[in-house]
Structure 1
Amino acid sequence: MFRHLRNLILLVFLLLFSNAPTCFDQSVYAQESKEESVVTSTTNAKTGDARPVSESSAGGEEATAEGAKQQQTPARFMLPAEQHAWANFQPGAWREVRITTETFNSRGKVINRSVTTQKEILKAKSEETYSLDLQATVDLIGKRIVGDWKQRVLKLATNRAGEITGMQKKENQIISYEGEEVECEIWELRYLDDSRQMVDRIVYSPQRYPFVIRRDSKEIQDDSQAQPVEEQVEVIASTIPFVIEGKMTMCCSQRTTRRRAKGNSLRVTFLAPTVPGGEVAAWSSDFDSQRQLTRWSTFELISYGLAISPQLDEERR
């Protein structure tokens, strides 16, 4: 009996002993597999092995790379065509305007008067540029000078021909606009204007005509001194009635102030979204450094059309 009991105890002991290593080996293997995975991942990172360590880690790396790519892509100020005074229309849209200018001497007497009739036709437009065909006829001191047709290619964002060399989006700002608080986008654009480097600070509201609520322009110079704003264009009234071809039309009013060493100028403009080019009337005055009036001029719309007439098309050919 004692011998049977001893054999039974020995059998139980052997069974317990044989099961223990199995559980232990599984836990050790799991731990070793985890450590091996970590070591393999580290080794791949150090050796630069292009093979992915695991599917999940590869997906994470791709997501990180995509996120970094998006962060590196600079924001761009793209004025939609439908918000631009010319690009809002189809090629062939045109207008004819008259500019009357008088020049004064130091005693305030008119010494010169000219009347310029100018025709402007939208020739083409793209995502970032538009081109105009222009022709001017000048009546001066009893003489008429008929100019040739010329073409100008301008940027939608600046209305200038020079290349845009950089742009940066600033933090949005809340501005007071006709007694209302309006959130606007703020942009800085750098571009070439002939031989000068210029920077524009743009206050943009995509919901309010004429969309660019204010634009401050100044020259970038090499010295560290801050340059004053050279030109400031701002909306001063958004709903002004104006008669265009016998019909009362909603316009907005802009004020343009130019400040230069030789003198300043002030221009008030009426803009209509229904007319190619926007401008329907304007009045400007130029002053010398002593605030003496040296010149003034008026701008008036003669006629316009949304499609070019055969006669006008023949003239520019």
Structure 2
Amino acid sequence: MWLLPFVLLVLPAALPVAWAAESNIPLRHHAWGKFDKGAWQVVRVVTDTLDEEGNVTATTTTTRETTLVRVSNDTVKLKVRVTVDVGGKKFDAPEQVIVEGVHGEPEGETQVAKVLDPQVAEIDGKKILCQVHQFEIATPDETRTVKLYHSPEVAPHVLRRETVTTKLKGRRRRYRTTTHVVQLDSKREVLDEERRTAVVETVHQNNKGTTITESVHSGEIPGGVVAFRAEERNAEGQLVRTSRLELVDYGYSKKERRGRRVRRARRRNR
């Protein structure tokens, strides 16, 4: 399934999922860290593939359901179910269980963390003093260097994240991702309920091209991301794929029935 990796790339890239316990970045600033076991979120991603003339040649719909299994002192455990619809045919990916460490790294990866000098992030004309943390995550075939700009007072707290992944063999850079908040504390309707949100831009670059994602986040929603639009361009700058995410439903416990918020929103809109 060639499209699934693109969708799963865009989803994590839009999430502020890194934090550092050793550097006093609390776990509650993770997109799932302040919610209770059983909280869940369902999102739908519609992806269009384009030809050289810009015509849509294929459309794929991916539904992703994420459930919070556990929050411990330094890890978050999530269960993820993904269904992909291609031309009316549905494919279920194997269920995944993801355990992330204190820096957002998969459990078991080695890491080195350090605190750098504070820096100022400017958003909406506001200058915000940030703690800066840098760490390296090592796997058998690559090293990922991440720099975080963290504000204890201003949500969504991780205001900028820079990631460079280098392949160990030949020390070649595999990709670079920069995520930064471009708008703070705006109110939007999310499934017919007013929520405080922030707008985040992510630029992901590799040798095949660039993907730019603009996403809307709310710390009041499990998982954080409530919407995004993404554009992927190849190395020649041609637009080859677009993707958009919508929040389908969410809940704060297993007892909340799927569709309850959606049904309530529909009743209000009649």
Q: 1:215 to 1:119 in 2, by over 3 A?
A: same
Q: 1:265 to 1:188 in 2, by over 3 A?
A: same
Structure 1: state its 5+ residue gaps: 1-74, 313-317
- The answer on 1:234 being equivalent to 2:180 is yes
Structure 2-normalised TM-score? Answer: 0.80
- The answer on 1:308 being equivalent to 2:259 is no
TM alignment of 1:1-317, pairs within 5 A: 76-158=22-104, 160=106, 163-192=109-138, 195-220=141-166, 230-309=176-255
* Secondary structure class of the residue paired with 1:290: coil
Count of aligned positions: 238
> What amino acid sits opposite 1:186 in the alignment?
V
Q: 1:85 to 1:119 in 2, by over 3 A?
A: same
Taking the aligned partners of 1:228 and 1:142, their CA distance within structure 2 comes to 34
What is the CA RMSD across the aligned residues, in angstroms? 2.5
Q: Does the CA-based 8 Å contact 1:81-1:87 persist in structure 2?
A: yes
Q: Does the CA-based 8 Å contact 1:164-1:189 persist in structure 2?
A: no
> What amino acid sits opposite 2:63 in the alignment?
T
> What amino acid sits opposite 1:176 in the alignment?
E
Taking the aligned partners of 2:66 and 2:172, their CA distance within structure 1 comes to 38
**Larger strand percent:** 2
- Greater relative CO (CA pairs within 8 A, separation 6+): 2
Report which stretch shifted further, 195-204 or 146-155.
Answer: 146-155
Deviation at 1:156, TM superposition (A): 3.9
Taking the aligned partners of 2:60 and 2:168, their CA distance within structure 1 comes to 39
> What amino acid sits opposite 2:180 in the alignment?
E
Structure 1-normalised TM-score? Answer: 0.69
Taking the aligned partners of 1:94 and 1:78, their CA distance within structure 2 comes to 27
**Larger helix percent:** 1
Taking the aligned partners of 1:162 and 1:106, their CA distance within structure 2 comes to 43
Deviation at 1:242, TM superposition (A): 1.8
Tell me which structure has the larger Cα radius of gyration.
1
Aligned-pair identity (%): 23
> What amino acid sits opposite 1:105 in the alignment?
D
Deviation at 1:194, TM superposition (A): 7.0
* Secondary structure class of the residue paired with 1:76: helix
